[in-house]
Chains A and B, each alone.
Chain A
Amino acid sequence: MNPLEALRAAICATPGVRCDTWHLFVDPNIIRFFGEGLRETLLLSIASVALSFAVGLLFALARLSARRWVRWPAVVYIETIRALPVLLLIVYFGIKGTALFRPIAAPIAGEDFELSRFWAGVLGLSLYTSAVLAEIIRAGIQALPRGQTEAASALGLTYVHAMRFVILPQALRLMVPAMVGQLTTVIKDTSLVATIGVFELVRQGRVIYTQYFNPLEVFLYVAVIYFVICFALSQASRRLEIQAPKEAKVKIEELQLRDQVA
């Protein structure tokens, strides 16, 4: 017996290790099953990031507004949401999503409208992520030298034009690494949507282990899938680090620390 087989035999002799289920993880049907979960995970992430970016941009601009009645609601929204657990928001939309959206959606979708669990999850994730992205975008805009805004208005550009053609193109470039970094957090956070019954990676894993009683193997397998994606993205984010002013980088990094952990 070669050493590798001996090691395998020793591991398989440990009570609780289900070597008899290991073949499942290379079985084409099981791989397809996890693939469906992975697709759901990625769709959740993309939908959440897209929605969060749009909403986050609005709140970032509102928070930078000179008008107090525009600024304060944005501050309250951003700070309150960032202080709450994202799981709480997801669970809330999981329970109340349909009731909340029925009055709006009923005229189009009919009285029996039901908010799908997928979209309830996207809403919960986006509510949180939009507040985080708002802060990242704000930090990016603030990192630009004031002269940019002044030069734009001296040239006669309106606020919208200055934002559209001068400020945002530069600020967004500063934020690319932070945004990609945040994407890894969103991907990790989609696992929470399993709790409201969306069949993404973790939930598919649960289906497998309740059938074969091998949670140890299943969660290792699922962890490895997440790891491969998130590690690749975080390396990419590091590669994308561009020549940004040092203060800007520090500011964005500090902000991120709190939001990326969540």
Chain B
Amino acid sequence: MPGAIVVEFPELFLTGLWLTAQLSVIGSLGALLIGTAIALFRISPLPPLRWIGVAYVEFFRNTPLLVQLFFLFLGLGALGFRFWTTDTFVAIFRAAAAGMALYHGAYVAEVIRGGLLGIDRGQIEAARSLGLSYAQTLRYVQLPQTFRSVVPPLGNIGIALIKNTSLASTIGVAELLQAAEIVESRTFRTEEAFGAVVLLYLVLTIPASLGVNWLEKRMLIAR
């Protein structure tokens, strides 16, 4: 029984669940911040900013997250950059969180850019002729409407992010998948260990995707 093995190794599974949850939340917030900033770069009237935006999105979307994680932890580690900490475990966790935010930020940026471009030009023109500055138009007219319309696609990225936190195990974060591997190697009860972690992942992702579906339906009605 998968349940039994969780009770036998509570600290491993619960730590795993906790780290997966932490990575998901920190990664999502970071991705949202980075994504919004890059989206603003991409619609900026200044060409150099637009180029930075395009380069960022294309680079991070077209390279594997695994390579990005290795680069952040091992590559930057070789340069002596340890994410402002001497504790290796903290450094690994921070590298993983940074990787989640950077990688998914590129996808978030595209969604938000789509949302910003979806706003009727008349609204922007109206705001500008009312005397609002470029920044004020963004802040009070464009972004509030955008965030509403992009909630369902952002939710989908969030679900992908929860699943992708499993890659943190490859650089040594003791999240859920790592917990399964440790328990498996101690007990050789592969099905139970992986079954337990499968259930824990489903507990995280299925409510999230039901929530996204519900939001999608509500958005359709609101439109």
User: Residues on A close to B: CB < 8 A?
Assistant: 14-18, 79-80, 83-88, 91-92, 95-96, 184, 188-189, 191-192, 194-195, 202, 209, 213-216, 219-220, 222-223, 226-227, 230-231, 234, 254, 257-262
Chain B positions within 8 Å of A, measured between CB atoms, are 58-59, 61-68, 70-71, 74-80, 104, 107, 111, 152-153, 156-157, 159-161, 163-167, 169-170, 177, 180-181, 184, 190-191, 194, 197-198, 201-202, 205-206, 209
Q: Are B194 and A88 in contact (CB under 8 A)?
A: yes
Q: A189-B64, A215-B75 are in contact. Are A262 and B202 (CB under 8 A)?
A: no
Residues A202 and B71 in contact in the complex (CB < 8 Å), given A80-B202, A84-B163 = no
Contact check, B209 vs A85: say whether CB atoms are below 8 A apart: no
Nearest Cβ in chain B — how far from A58, in angstroms? 23
12 further contact pairs, Cβ within 8 A, besides A234-B62, A257-B156: A14-B79, A84-B198, A85-B201, A87-B170, A202-B70, A215-B71, A223-B68, A226-B64, A230-B62, A258-B160, A261-B156, A262-B160
Partner of A95, one of B66, B76, B165, B190: B190
What is the CA–CA distance of A230 and B67 in the complex, to the nearest angstrom? 14
Q: In the complex, which residues of chain B have a beta carbon less than 8 angstroms from the beta carbon of A202? A: 64, 66-67, 70
Partner of A88, one of B61, B77, B198: B198
B159: chain A residues within 8 A (beta carbon): 83, 258
B62 touches A184 (CB 8 A): yes
Q: Known: A83-B206, A202-B66, A215-B75. Is A227-B59 also a contact (CB below 8 A)?
A: yes
With the chains together, A5 CA to B190 CA distance in Å?
55
- A contacts with B: majority SS: helix
A55–B78 CA distance with the chains assembled, in angstroms: 44
The 7 A-B residue pairs whose C-beta atoms are closest, nearest first, are A261-B160, A258-B156, A85-B166, A230-B62, A215-B74, A191-B64, A16-B79
Could you list 10 A-B pairs, sorted by A, with CB under 8 Å? A83-B202, A83-B206, A87-B166, A88-B166, A194-B66, A202-B66, A215-B71, A219-B71, A254-B156, A262-B160
Chain B residues within an 8 Å CB radius of A260: 107
CB < 8 Å neighbour of B163 from A14, A80, A86, A257: A86
Contact B80 A16 (CB under 8 A): yes
Shortest distance between the CB of B105 and any CB in chain A (Å)? 11
Q: How far is the CA of A223 from the CA of B59 in the complex (A)?
A: 9
* Residues of chain A within 8 A of B181, CB atoms compared: 91
Complex Cα distance, B169 from A195, in Å, reads 10
Q: Interface on chain B toward A: helix, strand, loop, or mixed SS?
A: helix
Closest Cβ–Cβ distance, residue A25 to chain B (whole Å): 14
One of A189, A213, A227 near B78 (C-beta < 8 A): A213
Across the interface, do B75 and A219 meet the contact criterion of CB distance under 8 Å? yes
For A213, give the chain B residue with the smallest CB separation: B78
A9-B108 Cα distance, complex, nearest whole Å: 38
Say yes or no: B63 contacts A209, CB within 8 Å: no
Q: How far, in whole Å, are A195 and B64 apart by their CA atoms in the complex?
A: 13
For B62, the chain A residues whose CB sits under 8 A away are 184, 188, 226-227, 230-231, 234
Q: How far is the CA of A118 from the CA of B46 in the complex (A)?
A: 48
Nearest-neighbour CB distance to chain B for A247, whole angstroms, equals 12
Q: Which residues in A have their C-beta under 8 angstroms from that of B65?
A: 188
Complex interface: chain B residues within 8 A of A234 (CB): 61-62
A208 CB to closest chain B CB (Å) equals 12
* Contact B78–A16 (Cβ < 8 Å): yes
CA distance A87 to B163 in the complex (A): 9
Q: Which residue of A lies closest to B202 (CB)?
A: A83
Task: State the CA gap A231–B64 with chains docked (Å).
Answer: 12
Contact of B177 among A85, A96, A222 (CB under 8 A): A85
